[in-house]
Amino acid sequence: MRSFVLLLTASALTLSVLATPQSPHPQRLPLRWGILAYPTFVGLDAFAPIEILNIVRMLTPNMTIAIIAETMDPVPSHALTDIGVPGTYLRPTHTIYDNIPLDVLLVPGGGPESAVQFNNTRLINYVKRTYPSLQHILSTCTGAQFLAKAGILDGKKATTSKFSWKDIIKTGPRVPCARWVRDGNIWTSSGVTSGFDLTNAFVEQGMRNVTLANLATNIIEYETHEDPSWDPFCKIWNVTAA
Amino acid sequence: MRSFVLLLTASALTLSVLATPQSPHPQRLPLRWGILAYPTFVGLDAFAPIEILNIVRMLTPNMTIAIIAETMDPVPSHALTDIGVPGTYLRPTHTIYDNIPLDVLLVPGGGPESAVQFNNTRLINYVKRTYPSLQHILSTCTGAQFLAKAGILDGKKATTSKFSWKDIIKTGPRVPCARWVRDGNIWTSSGVTSGFDLTNAFVEQGMRNVTLANLATNIIEYETHEDPSWDPFCKIWNVTAA
């Protein structure tokens, strides 16, 4: 692990300079991240972005990652173990009632047993009231449903998981065949592992740091899809925008 | 989510038949999974396989997934939140002292702060004493280190994370340029996200169910690399077997 630590340390010096905006009047870099957590979330919808963000955070001064939930109790994903209990968890750092200031909010999707959470007005209202103060909002997989119900996707281009295509993103131009879609400050991505490419694109464009995005995805040995229209699963699942 | 549930239900009928071995004297299907958990594990090293296994488990009668740790306390990954505490967790179902019978043990890697765990003789001894009763052992990323220290990799082909190449797998033919390597019943994979391809290959070959492997990776919209020699990160990180 020595090489890992040495490289990160050396790179931090370079990258902290690279991360400094060059514009004379730059918009503040979006460094204050929040990840919305709720029971039955799809683990990887959150864990894939977190693995990239964890590396980015190590090399980015003042970057913070908050886990935001209804309560401070550990939040179980939808994955079950052999004794019928969830095996993977997010640990909240704040509740939705703390209203901590954020630059970016990431909303993960939920598993097939998430109907209750998809209609949880406390979560939907949190997304609705927080959005105006954000620089960017991101969703992975069926997380787009919370954005849709909060009215954020009205008239906007968006995508979601192939499996849930007919049930969510009821308004606005749907984009069924896309790994991820950016419409202004709204970034939605397709099924589960699309969160890797969404996060990579956000670090490149939203945080303006291509070098750091490349370093993070190379460390986790993920082959990034840089083209948002790359989506072989559109054909596999035969989805249409209708 | 209706389509998700319907498809899974319909597929279960088909797949429970497909999963039945055709040989008159088949080896028992490896259905009893264990995932070793220890503090500072790399989240995705476990979470990526778990996301695939969770789908496989839903459609495979009698398949079980245990999370095995030193104690029953929640096990934090290496990912940190803004208040300096881990944000992602595994919840144990058993301890290493329970010695529950397993067909497969998956050993995830650890983050850059995992030196204490890599030298944790209680974990190493658990791997050593459990291996003879397993059908298969798998490691992702630096998890290979536990197999090496338990003596399981002596004289065997194996791979691991590019970052940690020089520090682990000290004996046996190293395979630096591989997404994953199978040598008999020992399956080792490369950095972090290689766990997707390792798990996919195991469901196809070890569990003899190509249909289910394809279904699971298509649901999570992961582009599988079927060729174990696919490894662009070998060149990127300039590793050699020497």
Say yes or no for a CB contact (<8 Å) between A90 and B90.
no
Of A91, A222, A236, the CB nearest to B218: A236
Instruction: Please report the pLDDT score of residue B167 as a whole number.
Output: 66
Q: Which domains does chain A have, with CATH numbers?
A: 31-70+79-236 (3.40.50.880)
Rounded to whole angstroms, the Cα distance separating A119 from A116 reads 5
Contacts of B44 in chain A (CB under 8 A): 44, 47-48, 51, 220
Residue A36: how many CB atoms within 10 A of its CB? Answer: 27
- Residue A158 DSSP one-character state: B
Cβ atoms of A152 and A137 within 8 Å: the answer is yes
Instruction: Please report the pLDDT score of residue A79 as a whole number.
Output: 76
Instruction: Please report the pLDDT score of residue A163 as a whole number.
Output: 73
How does pLDDT run across B178-196, given as a tens digit for each residue? 999 999 999 999 999 999 9
Cβ atoms of B190 and A24 within 8 Å: the answer is no
The nearest alpha carbon in chain B to A61 belongs to B82
Residue corresponding to tokens 């998890």: B143
Cβ atoms of B87 and A102 within 8 Å: the answer is no
| pLDDT classification of A21: cutoffs 50, 70, 90 | very low
Q: What are B192's two structure tokens?
A: 């972090």
Residue corresponding to tokens 């990180």: B237
Say yes or no for a CB contact (<8 Å) between A222 and B86.
no
Instruction: Please report the pLDDT score of residue A241 as a whole number.
Output: 67
Of B1, B64, B112, the CB nearest to A115: B1
Q: Where are the alpha helices (DSSP H) in A73-223?
A: 115-118, 121-130, 144-149, 194-201, 210-219
Tell me the shortest Cα–Cα distance from A11 to chain B, in angstroms. Answer: 14
Cβ atoms of A196 and A230 within 8 Å: the answer is no
Burial class of residue A230 (count of CB atoms within 10 Å of its CB; 0-12, 13-18, 19+):
middle
How does pLDDT run across A137-179, given as a tens digit for each residue? 999 999 999 999 999 999 999 999 887 777 666 667 788 899 9
- Residue A70 DSSP one-character state: S
- Residue A179 DSSP one-character state: S
Tell me the shortest Cα–Cα distance from A21 to chain B, in angstroms. Answer: 23
Cβ atoms of A152 and A171 within 8 Å: the answer is no
Q: What one-letter code names the amino acid at B156?
A: K
Instruction: Please report the pLDDT score of residue B238 as a whole number.
Output: 86
What residues are paired with A35 via a beta bridge?
A67, A106
What Å distances lie between residue A166 and A240, B87, B110, CA to CA? 9, 32, 40
Residue corresponding to tokens 């496989």: B56
How does pLDDT run across A30-45, given as a tens digit for each residue? 999 999 999 999 999 9
The DSSP line for B27-91 is PPP--EEEEE--TTB-HHHHHHHHHHHHHHHHTSTT-EEEEEESSSS-EEBS-B-TTSSB-EEE-
- Residue A11 DSSP one-character state: H
Rounded to whole angstroms, the Cα distance separating A78 from B40 reads 22
Q: What b/e string do you get for B31-68 counting C-beta neighbours within 10 Å, with b at 16 or more?
A: bbbbbbbbbbbbbbbbbbbbbbbbbbbbbbeebbbbbb
With 60 as the cut, is the pLDDT of residue A116 above it? yes
Tell me the shortest Cα–Cα distance from A68 to chain B, in angstroms. Answer: 11
Say yes or no for a CB contact (<8 Å) between A74 and B74.
yes
The nearest alpha carbon in chain A to B8 belongs to A112
pLDDT in tens, chain B (242 residues): 334 444 444 444 344 434 444 444 457 899 999 999 999 999 999 999 999 999 999 999 999 999 999 999 999 998 777 666 788 999 999 999 999 999 999 999 998 888 899 999 999 999 999 999 999 999 999 999 999 999 999 999 999 988 777 766 666 778 889 999 999 999 999 999 999 999 999 999 999 999 999 999 999 999 999 999 999 999 998 887 65
Mean pLDDT across the stretch A80-96? Answer: 85
The nearest alpha carbon in chain A to B81 belongs to A65
Rounded to whole angstroms, the Cα distance separating A156 from A150 reads 13
Say yes or no for a CB contact (<8 Å) between A79 and B166.
no
Instruction: Please report the pLDDT score of residue A86 as a whole number.
Output: 81
Tell me the shortest Cα–Cα distance from A182 to chain B, in angstroms. Answer: 19
Say yes or no for a CB contact (<8 Å) between A47 and B42.
no
Residue B206: how many CB atoms within 10 A of its CB? Answer: 19
Contacts of A220 in chain B (CB under 8 A): 44, 191-193
- CB pairs A-B closer than 8 Å: 183
Task: Please state whether A208 falls in left (phi above 0), alpha (psi between -120 and 50) or beta.
Answer: left
With 70 as the cut, is the pLDDT of residue A56 above it? yes
Contacts of A165 in chain B (CB under 8 A): 3
Of B79, B190, B232, the CB nearest to A50: B79
Cβ atoms of B4 and A164 within 8 Å: the answer is yes
Supply angle C-alpha A150, A153, A158, rounded to 5. Answer: 135
| pLDDT classification of A85: cutoffs 50, 70, 90 | confident
Rounded to whole angstroms, the Cα distance separating A179 from A134 reads 23
The nearest alpha carbon in chain B to A218 belongs to B233
Say yes or no for a CB contact (<8 Å) between A192 and B90.
no
Instruction: Please report the pLDDT score of residue A82 as a whole number.
Output: 65
| pLDDT classification of A15: cutoffs 50, 70, 90 | very low
Instruction: Please report the pLDDT score of residue A167 as a whole number.
Output: 66
| pLDDT classification of A6: cutoffs 50, 70, 90 | very low
Instruction: Please report the pLDDT score of residue A143 as a whole number.
Output: 96
Say yes or no for a CB contact (<8 Å) between A43 and B50.
yes
With 50 as the cut, is the pLDDT of residue A9 above it? no
What residues are paired with B22 via a beta bridge?
none
